[in-house]
Amino acid sequence: MSDAMEGESRDGSDTGDPPLLELEDLSVHFEKRTGLNPFADPEVVQAVDDVSLEINETDTVVLVGESGSGKTTLGKAAIGLQRPTSGNVRYRGQDIWDAKDGRGRVEIAHREIRKSLQIVHQDPESALNKSMTVFNALSEALHLRDEDLDSAGRRQRIYDVLAQVGLEPAPDYASRYPHQLSGGEKQRVILTRALLMNPDLVLADEAVSALDVSLRIDMMDLMLELQEVFDTSYLFVSHNLSNARYLAERANGRIGVMYLGNLVELGTPKQLIENPKHPYTKVLRWATPSLSLEEDDPGPPPVRQIDIPDATNPPSGCRFHTRCPFATEVCTQTVPRLESADDAQDAACFRQFDDHDYWDSDWLDADAADAAAERQF
C-alpha cells in the first residue's frame, strides 16, 4: 500500500490514502494527417484538454457531453488505455504510465493496475466473440485474474456469478453463444466478464444507450446492484442526461459535463439539473426532452450556432464562447477555471462570480443574450 501522497476524500471520510483514481491536468491530443502531403505538419486534435478529476472508492461519476466532447477519450485515459499527452493519471497514488514505463519507484505493478481498471464496451454486438460460449468468455477472464482455480472451482465461480446477474439457469446460459442472447443478456455477460476481474473501477462507455428504453432502467439497476456486490467504482460515459441523472442520483455520485475537451461543470445530479451554472449544462438540459405535459414548448436551441466547432482548432478563451448566448469579449480571451463561487458545484464559467470583469465586458451578441435571458437560460 502506498501512502506517498495525501489524498482527500470528497465525503469527508478522510483516510489519508490517495484517491482511487486521480487525473491531474490531463490532456490528450491526437495528430490528424490531412491532405496528401506526407511532410505537411499534422493538425492536432485536442480531444481532452487540462482536465482534473478525482474518483474515490465505490464512487460513481457520469461524464456527459456531445460527440466530440472528449468524454470517451477522457474515460480511456482514466483507466490507462490512452496515454495522455500531458498531465498525470494516478491509481492509488501510483502514476499509471510511470508504472508502465518503469519510471521511478513503482509501488503498484502495471499489470495489477490494468486488472483493477476495466472497461465495458459501448456495443454489445461486437464486444463478445461470436464463436465463444458464455462459459468460455467468462472462463478466459477468470483465468487472467486467478490462475490457481481448478476447473471445477472455475465452473462453480462462473455459475455463481451468472446467477448473481440474473442469468438463470446458469448452466444453460453458460453454454449459449452470443447469438442466442438478447441485447440485454449480452450486456449482462459483458458486465459480468469485467466484474469477474474484481476491478476497483469499471469504465462503462454508453453501455445503456444502446438498449431499448424499456430495458434501460433494468440494466442501470443491475449495474448499481453489482457495484455493491463487487465494491467497484464506476466511470460512466453517456450522451444522455436522463440516464446520467438516474445513475448518478441512485449511486449518490456526480455528473461531469464535458464540452470540446474540457470538463465544464461537475456536481451532483440535483445541482446540475435543478440549478445548472454553466450555460452549456443548461443547453444539455434544454436538449433533454421531458415527458411532462406541463412543459412548455422548449423553443429553438439556446445557442448561437447548433454545430459544435472543430476540435482541431478550438475557440480561444472559453471554448463555448462561439455558441454561448451570454459570451462577452472576456470569454474570448480568458480561459475559465473549473471552480466554485459558493458551496455548490464547480463550473468553468465567469457568470458565477458577481464581481468578475465579465460583467463589464461587451456582449458578443446582445440580441442572443437578451433572448436567452428572457427564456431564463
Partner 1 sequence: MSGIGMPDFGPDDHSDEVESETESEVTPIFELENVSVEFEMDRGVSRVLDDVTFDIHRNEVLGVVGESGSGKSMLASALLDAVVDPGVLSGDITYYTSDERPIDVLGLSDRDLRKFRWDAVSMVFQGAMNSFNPVMTVRSHFKETLEAHSAADEEHFERVHQLLEDLYLEGDRVLDSYPHELSGGQKQRALIALSLILRPNVLVMDEPTAALDLLMQRSILSLLSDLKEKYEFTLVFITHDLPLVKNLCDRLAVMYAFDLVEAGPTREVIGSADHPYTRALLNATPNLDTPIEDMNSIEGSAPDPVNVPPGCAYNPRCPLAEQRCEEEDPDLVQVETDHWAACFYWDDVDDAIPINVPGAGGETDE
Binding site for partner 1 (CB under 8 A): 66-68, 182-184, 212-218, 220-221, 239-243, 245-246, 249-250, 273, 283-295, 297-301, 303, 305-308
Residue 75 to residue 26: CA distance in whole angstroms: 11
Nearer to partner 1, 287 or 344 (CB): 287
Contact 268, 254 (CB under 8 A): yes
Closest distance to partner 1 from the beta carbon of 137 (Å): 21
CA distances from 99 to 65, 104, 109, 187, 283 (A): 31, 8, 6, 31, 40
Contact 376, 302 (CB under 8 A): no
Nearer to partner 1, 27 or 242 (CB): 242
Nearer to partner 1, 8 or 218 (CB): 218
- Cell representation of residue 317: 478563451
Nearer to partner 1, 116 or 227 (CB): 227
Give the DSSP H or E segment for 330: helix 329-333
CA distances from 164 to 103, 145, 191, 234, 363 (A): 41, 19, 12, 19, 57
Closest distance to partner 1 from the beta carbon of 7 (Å): 30
- Cell representation of residue 150: 481448478
Nearer to partner 1, 94 or 187 (CB): 187
Residue 12 to residue 288: CA distance in whole angstroms: 33
- Cell representation of residue 249: 442520483
Closest distance to partner 1 from the beta carbon of 73 (Å): 16
Closest distance to partner 1 from the beta carbon of 51 (Å): 20
Residues 6+ apart with CB under 8 A from 123: 210
Closest distance to partner 1 from the beta carbon of 48 (Å): 18
- Per DSSP, 328 falls in state B
Closest distance to partner 1 from the beta carbon of 272 (Å): 10
Nearer to partner 1, 290 or 313 (CB): 290
- Per DSSP, 120 falls in state E
